Structure 1
Amino acid sequence: MKKYGKLVALIGLAAMLVAGCKGKGSDQKEAGNWDKEMDISVVSREEGSGTRGAFVELFEIEEEENGEKVDKTTDEAQITNSTSVMLTTVEEDEYAIGYVSLGALNDKVKAVKIDGAEATTDKVKSGDYPISRPFNLVVKEGETNPLVNDFIQFVLSEEGQKVVEENGYIPEDDAKPYEPGSVEGKLVVGGSSSVSPVMEKLAEAYEKKNTKVDVELQTTDSTTGVSSTIDGSYDIGMASRELKDSETSKGVETKVLATDGIAVIVNSSNPVTELKKEQVKDIFTGKAYTWSEVDE
């Protein structure tokens, strides 16, 4: 009986030790409290992502060194390779911060205000929310393929721009009615994972009007979208950033299909509702380590 009593006592002691050794974040989560002293989980996109390229430029996270712009995103950042993975990562980590296309926002994460401005299409249109970038179609200069040109005409038409607006992006002005040509065949469109969701809707709408056309959509990243258009793997590339001089010099040009904001997102349990541009920069360059350092 004495041995049994000692065993019970030891088990009880072990249980208390395990409970006492739980991480601070775990205790806080169970208690339903958000701890601003916890480290910030920085989540960024992969190199080659147009969203990352636009984000680091707009928040001045890149610096010029020896005549070249260098991305100063902290090495501690967790790297995600698509918009959907970014959203899931921030949703599942209560101390995370990341960024996504405004049109990709869902109700499982929270977009914070930047310098007092909400991340909405109306605020982007008015210029109050300046964190925006173009969604570009990338084609070869002087493109003569009738199918390529007909698809682009549709995307930029009233019908195509209506699809753009219905999916949460800002359409281009002065769109004209679509005048379909007699086209058929296969069209390969590929690139940015930010542009891909709205491009999927555009392709579906286009195929309904042109039943002899098959649009194959390949989701990669903006850099691949450009390079694969240059080498002919894609008929049309998708880029969620402006093209570099080194890219346009290889014989490609862009046509803007929409304007999109970039939303800075945090976990829905995060009480932070607003950040300054400088604070976002400090977080993503590793100058701010805990949420208390950006808490106002």
Structure 2
Amino acid sequence: MKMKKFMAMTLAAVMTVALATGCGSKKDETDSTNNDTDTKTESGSDWDPTNDISVISREDGSGTRGAFIELFGIEEKDASGEKVDNTTVDANITNSTEVMMSTVAGDEYAIGYVSLGSLNDKVKAVKIDDAEATEENIKSGTYKVSRPFNIATKGEGSEVAQDFINYILSEEGQKVVSDNGYISLDDVKPYESNGATGKIVIAGSSSVTPVMEKLKEAYLALNTEAEIEIQQSDSTTGMTSAIDGICDIGMASRELKEEEAAELTPIVIATDGIAVVVNNDSTVDDLTSEQVKAIFTGEALTWEEALE
């Protein structure tokens, strides 16, 4: 009898522990589920179109901004015939291509624009009027948001500056342009050096700078006696520096203004598209030209309004 009583007591103790453990596990699972739900809610991971649009633009003087506002009709003439930039005053202004991409990448409700050749996976390029921003679509005219990359010189310039320009416009130079995502020139010839040496100072557009750095690297591999200094700023500063003799070659990611062209000789070195970009978490994949204009002029304040 004593043995039976002992076994009964032991069995009861085991069942008690099992029930307690089972109840505890279920509570832990519930707490874990609730915590996961709370975390998802607090993080705001679901993209909400009712949120305000964060408009990101470039600084005054930027060739990319100049081309962008012209191509989308954001720049219009007033009653006196003067051109007026109607970019919303609420836009967040960035001063380079890299800062533009970083800003859009850090804000899930942001929209901006960058050189197609500088585009990377930090942001997402949207279709414009059902056309993707690709080299093929720019060449065919399907994607219409494109502009020339210009360099400009004042007068004849130095022999070594001319030699570098000859390289840029050659088969070898245009291969560098194409290999870096830009649209190269047609009917180019092999490079023939004039044998010049010395220093070249190049200044201007932050959009042109990346491909100019690649051209510099390739050229210096052929002409080891040359030295090239690239000063990144914006298109207007580049043209002013060339006019004032501060640099040998100015860079502009737009057409030259009348007053600039009157004092400088422009040379197109490539064609580049302008990609309209949003955050990678955005559900926006396609916009019309009119929707882009409404966003950047401040007519549409939320994504819901823009997409109506």
- Do these two structures clear the TM 0.5 threshold for a shared fold by scoring above it? yes
User: For residues 1-296 of structure 1, what are the structure 2 equivalents within 5 Å?
Assistant: 30-65=43-78, 66-141=80-155, 143-249=156-262, 251-295=263-307
Partner amino acid, structure 1, of 2:86:
K
SS of 1:214 mapped into structure 2:
strand
Aligned length: 269
Q: In the TM superposition, what whole-angstrom CA distance separates every residue of 1:193-241 from its partner, at most 9, and x where no partner exists?
A: 0000000000011111101000101100000010000000010000000
Q: Distance in 2 between matches of 1:82 and 1:245?
A: 25
Q: Which of these two proteins has the greater Rg computed from alpha carbons? A: 2
CA RMSD of aligned residues (A): 1.3
Contact 1:28 1:34 in 2 (8 A): no
Q: Are the structure 2 counterparts of residues 45 and 234 from structure 1 closer, same or farther at C-alpha, using a change threshold of 3 Å?
A: same
SS of 2:267 mapped into structure 1:
strand
Q: Which blocks of at least 5 consecutive residues in structure 1 are unaligned? A: 1-25
SS of 2:124 mapped into structure 1:
strand
Q: Distance in 2 between matches of 1:28 and 1:62?
A: 41
Q: Are the structure 2 counterparts of residues 82 and 188 from structure 1 closer, same or farther at C-alpha, using a change threshold of 3 Å?
A: same
Q: TM-score, normalised by structure 2?
A: 0.85
Q: Are the structure 2 counterparts of residues 179 and 76 from structure 1 closer, same or farther at C-alpha, using a change threshold of 3 Å?
A: same
Q: Distance in 2 between matches of 1:35 and 1:190?
A: 42
Range with greater deviation from structure 2 (231-240 or 26-35): 26-35
Q: Distance in 1 between matches of 2:157 and 2:271?
A: 26
Q: Are the structure 2 counterparts of residues 226 and 27 from structure 1 closer, same or farther at C-alpha, using a change threshold of 3 Å?
A: farther
Q: Distance in 2 between matches of 1:31 and 1:219?
A: 38
Q: TM-score, normalised by structure 1?
A: 0.89
Q: Distance in 1 between matches of 2:289 and 2:178?
A: 27
Partner amino acid, structure 2, of 1:137:
I
Contact 2:123 2:279 in 1 (8 A): yes
Q: Are the structure 2 counterparts of residues 150 and 35 from structure 1 closer, same or farther at C-alpha, using a change threshold of 3 Å?
A: same
Q: In the TM superposition, what whole-angstrom CA distance separates every residue of 1:174-195 from its partner, at most 9, and x where no partner exists?
A: 1100001111110001100000
Q: Which blocks of at least 5 consecutive residues in structure 2 are unaligned? A: 1-38
Question: Offset of 1:294 from its aligned partner?
Answer: 2.1
Question: Offset of 1:247 from its aligned partner?
Answer: 1.3
Partner amino acid, structure 1, of 2:58:
R
Q: Are the structure 2 counterparts of residues 106 and 28 from structure 1 closer, same or farther at C-alpha, using a change threshold of 3 Å?
A: farther
Q: Distance in 1 between matches of 2:174 and 2:217?
A: 14
